[in-house]
Each structure stands twice: as structure tokens, then as C-alpha cells.
Structure 1
Amino acid sequence: METMEYNIQTDAAGERIDKVLSSLNEEWSRSQIQNWITSGSVKVNGATVKRNYKVASGDSISIEIPEAEELDVEPEPMVLDIYYEDTDVLVVNKPRGMVVHPAPGHTRGTLVNGLLYHCKDLSGINGVLRPGIVHRIDMDTSGLLMVAKNDLAHERLVKQLQEKTVTRKYLAIVHGVIPHDVGTIDAPLGRDPKDRQKMTVVDNGKHAVTHFRVKERFSNYTFVECELETGRTHQIRVHMKYIGYPLAGDPKYGPKKTLDIDGQALHAQVLGFTHPRSGEYLEFSAPLPEEMTKLLDYLRKND
């Protein structure tokens, strides 16, 4: 059993403990955290608390994470927004709020559950919890993902990601007004030594490069396109914060006073890759989700 410990900072004081903990790890569902609290696996300053406990600055929280259980991931009927599919690969537009793959305590309603029902067979390279998953996007990020339906496709798509030949363009709304029309952020990323659930720029981190282009400026926000050269965990979110323009709505890396959106304003709009069998280059584009479109309309009207 793994034990994780956190110290509460001032900006989180007054928040419910389940909300605070869910912001630390996007793969922990609120119901899973509440079960941990009820069972006594979560302690504050060494004592158990109720699910509605509001944290205070300086609180020390410890979580005993249960051993990973063997999961039987069940196919689950759901409506999937599929942009392309053949015998080797599938491209799907994931909605905001959907987790990509199951985890202990969160085995239903994920993209993988829906894919297993739709496809029956997926690549087994990433194991029972991540069948067919070649790359992922965060729960509150919407947009395009490629999925491998067999091991050959999986291996060749992963190689393209490693060789940086996959096109991945994101649209984002960030705090602040970026003065430059284009830019490149080249800063290595690794785990934050002060908070292992966060990523940050560190000297000994993994090579990470994000290119950005301004699409529209507002009085306090900027609408940007970000293109990934590498694909590190939370890369765009951390890189934009690093240069002083954190994503609007980002619960982990952004300011509390932000636009009215539940989660970061980030959408994986363009995905392009070479077909793993035919060698043909394929590229797809998904329109902005309604939540981000409404935010842009609001900014244009109230600027």
C-alpha cells in the first residue's frame, strides 16, 4: 500500500477536502476519493475526517492508496465521436470531462470502456487498462486521439510519436495578453519536487518543446494555437504557465480567478499521422467544443 502526503497551501484553504484531492490527480474520481475518506484511508494531521471537511492552510494530508486491483474492464455502450476508422486505427474526438482509461476505483465511463464495446479488439501492448491507447489527453481537455486496433499499428504509431512526426495542434485560452505573434518554449519538464502530482520546469527534466501562435487578443486573455513537438505530461499547461500565461480554468496550474469553465480551456484540434500500414499521411481537425466557443463569444462581446 502506497502512502502519499500533501501540505495544504493558503490558496486551497476553505475548500472541501474531496475537491482539493481531486485536483491533485486527474485520474482520481471524486467518488473514489470520498470512498477513501469514508474508509479512513485519508487522514488530516493524523486524524480521520468527514467528506465535507474544509481544509486549512498548513494541514498535512496523508492518503493510503490501496494496492492496484486486478480490473476486468467492461465494454460499455456509449456515443463516440469517431472521425476515422479502419482495421488498423481509429481517430476519436474525446469530450471534455471524460477520462481516457480506467483506474482502480474508476472503472466505468472511460473512453476505453466505450472503445471496447465499439471495437471488440484493440492493441494489447499497454495492457488491460489501456488497450489501444497510443497517447492520451487530460480528462478536461477535449479533442482528437488516435487509437491502435492491433499491435503492429500500435508500435508504428508510437515510433512516429518518438520521432516527432505526428502533427498535434491545440487551441487554448490563456490568461494575459501575449505580445508576440509566435514563439517557442523549449524547457525540460519533470515532476515538481514540492508536489509529485504536478509537473514543472526542472533542469534535469525531459526535453519538451511547444510552439505557439496567437490567434486573437483580448484585454486580459489571449486565444492561442499550440503545436507540440514533444508530448510530455501536462506539457502545454506547464509551458504556458512557465512563460506567464497560464490556461484559463486550469485547476492545477492556473489562477483561481478565471473564466467560467470547468477545467482548462484546451482542445486538441488537429491530429495528423502516417497510416501505420498504407504509409498515407492522414490529418483530421475537430471544431472547438461549445464551452470554449461560448467563452470566446463572451470575451469578444465584453472586451
Structure 2
Amino acid sequence: MTLGPESNEFHESTQERSISKTNNRKAGSTSFRKKASSKILSGNQLEIIFRDRYFCVVNKPAGVPAQTQGKDQDILSLVSTATNIAKQKMHLVNRLDQPVGGLMIIAFSGGIHAAFENLRRNNGLAKIYLAVTSDVPQSQSGSLHNYLLRDGRLNKSSVVPEKTADSRSASLKWKKLDQTVGTDGKELALLAIKLETGRHHQIRVQLAAAGWPIWGDRKYGDNQNNIKRNIALLSYLLYFIHPVSGEKLELKLKPPEIYPFEIFSQTAWQALIDFDI
């Protein structure tokens, strides 16, 4: 197995991110803190939340593509510049749509990428997203099960009947953390979401089909005038087993200080503790 090199060159950020390392999450955890690396490139500050010789976890800025063809800048380009590791050696463990921000895992070798894929297949990798929705679910929690069909020409997916040709099953769990009124007087909800499958635009299309489109997501039915064209969906928390050491890692972001996330009560974020991952 070829392993990616570990660089000692870090650009320290004034902000820190909390990382919990546990042997049994239900029994509690001990915390340690690492300074996050950061580098400002083309107006985007890249935060490296965790890094060792095998992989890194970064906070992808909303609006930056995960991967592009040619010379266009993507998250791999930003990570390569910040770490001095060749872009060609990097592999995306999880992908985020261009308008979505948050945590992404970047493997530094094909072997580590394969190890993460094995973890995913054996439920060793959990991902929690936060979404602000236009319109509010009536119940406090639930699950969504649909069949999705992808239209590559339009770069869009839709909910279709079960036996539709080329459709794929999609499942997620959700919990309502809070609800409030936005600046336009409309009710908004803050949801925590756990993906059980990974389909094209899955969270966006399933929430829209349920009647709760993500704030700012005009592609899937929200008519909110969103100048920045980013949507209120965030890859917020990752919980996984280190593919080499076997340690259990829980990495998460601080509550975003941007609209519309910032209008929800601080106690709403504590409700994530009870969300079963």
C-alpha cells in the first residue's frame, strides 16, 4: 500500500476545531484539540480540520466544486496547494455538491481510499448534515424512503415510482432541531440528517419531495432570492473508524455564523447529542 507523505508545514489558524477521539462513543469520550491548518486561496479560506499521513478532513467552502476536469480550481487543488501533496495522489472519500459546504475526507492514496470504502460498506462511516428548510415538518423526526432517477443532461434528480427503469433507492433519517421565522416572515426549520444511501442530490430532492425544500435551493423548488447561490445544507459531522489505527473519530464544525443558520437558538445545536448516528 502506498501511503501519502506527511508534511510538517502547517499554516495555523486563529480558530480551533474540536476533535473527539473515542473507544466507545455511547460511554463518553475524551477530547483533544488541534489547531486547524488554513490557507487563503482565491478568496477562500481552506480549513484543514484533521490531518495525518493517510488522509485529511477539510471544511469545503460552499461554491467550490469537489472535482473538476482540466485546470479549473476545485477542492483537490486547494488541498494540494495547502499540503504540498500532488493532486493526482488524492482521492475523494465523500463528495459534496458545489453549492454545499462542510466536511470532506480526502485520502492520500488509493489504498486508504479503498479502506474508507470498506468502512462505508460495513457502517463504519456516518455522516450528519444540517439543513435549513423552507416550510416546517409537523413531526419531530422521521425517515424518507424514495426511488430517485438522475437526469445527467439537466444535472438533476427526481422522485419516481419504485419500478422505474434506472431508478435507485434512497433513504435518510431526519430530526427537527428547531424552528423559527426568517427575515421574510416565513417559517424555517433546522434539520439534522443522516444519509443511509448516497445518491445524486439525495438530500435536496428528498426534502423537496416531502414539501420542505432547502433554503436557497432554487433547483429543487425554493424561491428564496439567494444572491450568493449557496444553499443552506452543510456537511456538519463525521463519525468514523480510522482505517489504519482503528480509533473512533468524531469531527464536527462549529455552528455556522451565517444566515439562515445563525437565526436558530444555541440550544438547538445541543439536540444533536441525542441524534443516533
Partner of residue 72 from structure 2, selected from 108, 113, 116: 108
Q: Counterparts of 2:203 and 2:80 in 1: how far apart (Å)?
A: 29
The aligned runs of 1:193-232 (5 Å cut-off) are 196-202=154-160, 203=162, 204=164, 205-219=167-181, 220-232=187-199
Alpha-carbon distance, 1:141 to partner: 0.9
Q: Any idea what SS the aligned residue of 2:258 has? A: helix
Aligned twin of 2:110: 151
Deviation at 1:145, TM superposition (A): 0.6
1:130-279 equivalences in 2 (<5 Å): 131-192=90-151, 196-202=154-160, 203=162, 204=164, 205-219=167-181, 220-257=187-224, 262-279=229-246
| In 2: Cα distance, 1:292 partner to 1:132 partner | 32
Instruction: Give 1:276 shift.
Output: 1.1
- Equivalent residue number for residue 19 of structure 1: none
Flag the 1:294–1:215 CA change in 2: closer, same or farther, 3 A: closer
The letter for the 2-side match of 1:184 is: S
CA drift at 1:77: 7.4
Q: Is there any run of 5+ residues in structure 2 with no aligned partner, and where?
A: 1-38, 182-186, 266-277
Paired residues in the alignment total: 215
Counterpart residue identity of residue 166, structure 1: L
RMSD over aligned Cα atoms: 2.5
Q: Which residue of 1 aligns with 2:255?
A: 288
- State the shift of 1:192 in Å: 4.2
Q: Which has the higher strand share?
A: 2
CA contact (8 A) 1:189 1:199 kept: yes
Closer, same or farther in 2 for the Cα pair 1:77/1:249, shift >3 Å?
closer
Report if aligned partners of 2:179, 2:190 keep a CA contact under 8 Å in 1: yes
Distance in 1 separating the partners of 2:122 and 2:246: 15
Residue identity opposite 1:232 in structure 2:
R
Secondary structure at 1:279's aligned position in 2?
coil
**8 Å contact kept, 1:77–1:118:** no
Tell me which residue corresponds to 1:23: none
1:108 Cα offset (Å): 3.4
CA distance in 1, matches of 2:154, 2:227: 28
- TM-score normalised by L of structure 2: 0.70
Contact 1:251/1:263 (8 A) holds in 2: no
Between the aligned partners of 2:190 and 2:225, the Cα distance in structure 1 is 14
Cα distance, 1:274 vs structure 2: 1.1
Give the alignment's TM-score, normalised by structure 1: 0.64
1:97 aligns with 2:63: yes
Larger C-alpha radius of gyration, 1 or 2?
Answer: 1
In the TM superposition, residue 122 of structure 1 has moved relative to its aligned partner by: 5.9
Give distance in 2, aligned partners of 1:217 and 1:254: 20
How far 1:237 sits from its partner (Å)?
0.4
In structure 2, how many angstroms separate the alpha carbons of the residues matched to 1:185 and 1:211? 6
Where structure 1 has 5 or more consecutive residues not aligned to the other structure, the ranges are 1-75, 126-130, 299-303
Question: 2:132 touches 2:261 (CA, 8 Å); kept in 1?
Answer: no
Matched residues in 2 for 1:175 and 1:144: separation?
23
Pair 1:85 & 2:51 matched? yes
Q: Greater RCO between the two (CA within 8 Å, min separation 6)? A: 2
